[in-house]
Amino acid sequence: MGASAKRRSTPHVQQKRKERRAAILHAALSAFREQGFHATSLDDIAARLGVRNTALYYYFADKDALLYECHRESLAELERMIEASAACCESPEERLAYLLREHVRIMTDTLEGSPLAFEVPALSPKRRAAIVAGRDRYEQLLRKLISAGIAAGAFRAVNPKVVVFAMLGSINWIARWYQPGGRMNAGELGQQFADYLIAGLK
């Protein structure tokens, strides 16, 4: 689809395309969670949506493009969360707690437990670099907040780099055990993770 075709489409058609695109991303995340990324084909995703795979190719050229878009959307949500954390919270500890809680919510709600963070190595090198850069900014912010908390006397002297790896590992691992719609309450989960991961700094 060229840019001129896009310009000609009515708002109604544009809205339909946006919805279809979101439905494809949603079906892809479910498939990656249930079958694993490597075992999932574009045909599987088309079958889940009850459409032909040519309808899928209209939106995404291949599985790599689809995986990249899933990553981009979840990183965009991470960016919004980082901005919100700057507005809401005063102390490094409050801001850190907010970020950890919201990050868990992205894992359980947006990604529905899909193991996206595990599949960064599957991206093509150029796309991988873009995703890793976004992820690095987030890691740097978490380290900075821990260092600021140590400097303010709110946290004990830990190695911020090691602790941030531990925090991100524990949250990314949620994709390995979380069942959407299961007994675990997603809201409580974020609170429990934030409590535990911050208590380790005291």
The contact set with a copy of itself (CB under 8 A) reads 36, 38, 118, 121-122, 156, 158-159, 162-163, 165-174, 176-177, 184, 189, 192-193, 195-202
Least spacing, CB of residue 86 vs a copy of itself, in Å: 25
Q: How far is the CB of 190 from a copy of itself (least distance, A)?
A: 11
Cβ pair 31, 40 in contact under 8 A: yes
Length of the chain: 202
Please, which residue, 15 or 41, has the CB nearer to a copy of itself?
A: 41
Using alpha carbons only, what angle is made at residue 112 by residues 117 and 94, rounded to the nearest 5 degrees? 75
Contact between 145 and 82 (Cβ < 8 Å): no
C-beta closer to a copy of itself: residue 57 or 196 = 196
We find the least distance from the C-beta atom of residue 49 to a copy of itself, in angstroms, to be 23
Return the number of the residue (8 or 181) whose C-beta is nearest a copy of itself: 181
In the complex with a copy of itself, the residue whose CB is nearer, 50 or 181, is: 181
Q: How far is the CB of 110 from a copy of itself (least distance, A)?
A: 18
- 3-class DSSP assignment, residue 180: coil
Task: Determine the Cα–Cα distance for residues 169 and 164; give it in Å rounded to an integer.
Answer: 8
CA 30 – CA 48 distance, rounded (Å): 9
